[in-house]
Amino acid sequence: MTAISVKNVWKEYGEQVVLERINLEIAPRSFVALVGPSGCGKTTFLRMLLSEELPTRGEITIDGVPLSPEPGPDRGVVFQRYSVFPHLTVLGNVMLGAELRGSRLLGRLFGSSHRQARDDAAALLDAVGLSHALDKYPAQLSGGMQQRLALAQALIARPKVLLLDEPFGALDPGIRADVHKLMRQLWHQHPMSVVMVTHDLSEAFHLATRVIAFDRTRTLPEERLRYGACITNDIDVWPKRVAGQPDFGRDPAHLPSRDDPALDPGQSDRDDPADAA
């Protein structure tokens, strides 16, 4: 179980304060969506979680241990683009994680360990719906298939935390709905926390257990440089979602007795408040 703790984190680029006073406790198995206007520092925050950038001030810990200063296999990532390797086939992209960890010298596996890695990768690719495309190269896949591949590639390394930066932002609406379903399923099945940046509020409420909004509170021109964005909203998504229990909340017995007017048992199968808006 993986708890992420962000303590008074600031990020400055030279004169410019991008993020300030970020305090956040993320419970194990959460699915956190980060929303906010363009340029407010969502990607910057994710890059600090990834150790691609270091905080100017403050500290980030996972299970009480400070983040290592460079990216590692405890944190997986899917970017909006360029997440997969163009020179490897679909199968090769997913096997790569096992090969890199299994062979520090060649980055390749042979014999039975190669077969094992192949079978594991093929099984995961089957789960994300790519079993028909094992020998294709990424350039031959559609955008949605590429992101499915990127998810499988990240998950094969069994990360404790999966970081997503607008992973579905470039997809068509129909395809996006399919990938959302897959994403939720993967979160239920894999023992990880997810932090996803998105600019799509409906996507955030559709998938997450908790939605966190970043924004600038000082917007006068003379203040823009010296004041960064901070957390302006922190919403637990209702009805509650519980990792590993896809049906939680759909069963009236589980419905908590919170006096939320939007929540009558007749609507309990509706899991996306934003959709109604």
Partner 1 sequence: MRLINRRPDRSLWLILAVLPFLALLIAYAAGSAVRLAENPADKLLPGLTAFADAIDRMALEPDKRTGDILLWVDTGASLTRLVAGIAIAAAGGLLVGMLAGLLPLARAALSPFVTVVSMVPPLAVLPILFIVVGLGEASKITLIVIGVMPGLIRDLMLKIDDLPRQQLIKAQTLGANSWTIAIRVVLPQILPRLMDSIRLNLGPAWLFLISAEAIASESGLGYRIFLVRRYLAMDVILPYVAWITLLCFLMDWGLRAAQSRAFPWFDRARTGQ
149-208 positions binding partner 1, by CB under 8 A: 153-154, 157, 159
* Burial class, 30, CB count within 10 angstroms (exposed 0-12 / middle 13-18 / buried 19+): buried
Please give the Cα distance from 162 to 191 (Å, whole number). Answer: 10
Q: Are 271 and 202 in contact (CB under 8 A)?
A: no
Please give the Cα distance from 14 to 207 (Å, whole number). Answer: 36
Residue 210 binding ligand ADP, by CB under 6 A: no
Contacting partner 1 (CB under 8 A), which of 52, 120, 200, 271?
Answer: 52
Q: Which is nearer to partner 1, 79 or 238 (CB)?
A: 79
Please give the Cα distance from 129 to 112 (Å, whole number). Answer: 25
Q: Which is nearer to partner 1, 139 or 253 (CB)?
A: 139
Q: Which is nearer to partner 1, 95 or 213 (CB)?
A: 95
Residue 72 binding ligand ADP, by CB under 6 A: no
Residue 43 binding ligand ADP, by CB under 6 A: yes
Count of chain residues binding partner 1 (CB under 8 A): 37
Which pair of structure tokens corresponds to residue 20? 């300030």
Residue 225 binding ligand ADP, by CB under 6 A: no
Residue 139 binding partner 1, by CB under 8 A: yes
Half-sphere exposure of 55 (CA within 13 A, CB side): 21
Q: Are 192 and 3 in contact (CB under 8 A)?
A: no
User: Residue 254 phi/psi, 5° resolution?
Assistant: -85, -15
Contacting ligand ADP (CB under 6 A), which of 2, 17, 42, 207?
Answer: 42
Helix axes 90-102, 143-155, angle to 10 degrees: 20
Instruction: Give least dist CB 227 to ligand ADP, A.
Output: 13
String of contacts with Mg ion for each residue 41-70, x by CB under 5 A: --x---------------------------
Of all residues in the shown chain, the one whose CB is closest to ligand ADP is: 43
Please give the Cα distance from 95 to 117 (Å, whole number). Answer: 6
Residue 273 binding ligand ADP, by CB under 6 A: no
Q: 3-class SS at 97?
A: helix
Instruction: Give least dist CB 127 to partner 1, A.
Output: 18
Which segments within the chain are labelled E, that is strand? 4-13, 16-26, 31-35, 57-62, 65-66, 75-78, 161-165, 193-197, 210-216, 229-236
User: Residue 64 phi/psi, 5° resolution?
Assistant: 85, -10
Residue 219 binding ligand ADP, by CB under 6 A: no
5-34 positions binding ligand ADP, by CB under 6 A: 13, 18
String of contacts with partner 1 for each residue 98-137, x by CB under 8 A: -xxx-xxxxxx----------------------------x
| Interacting residues toward partner 1 by CB under 8 A | 50, 52, 70-73, 75-77, 79, 81-88, 96-97, 99-101, 103-108, 137-140, 153-154, 157, 159
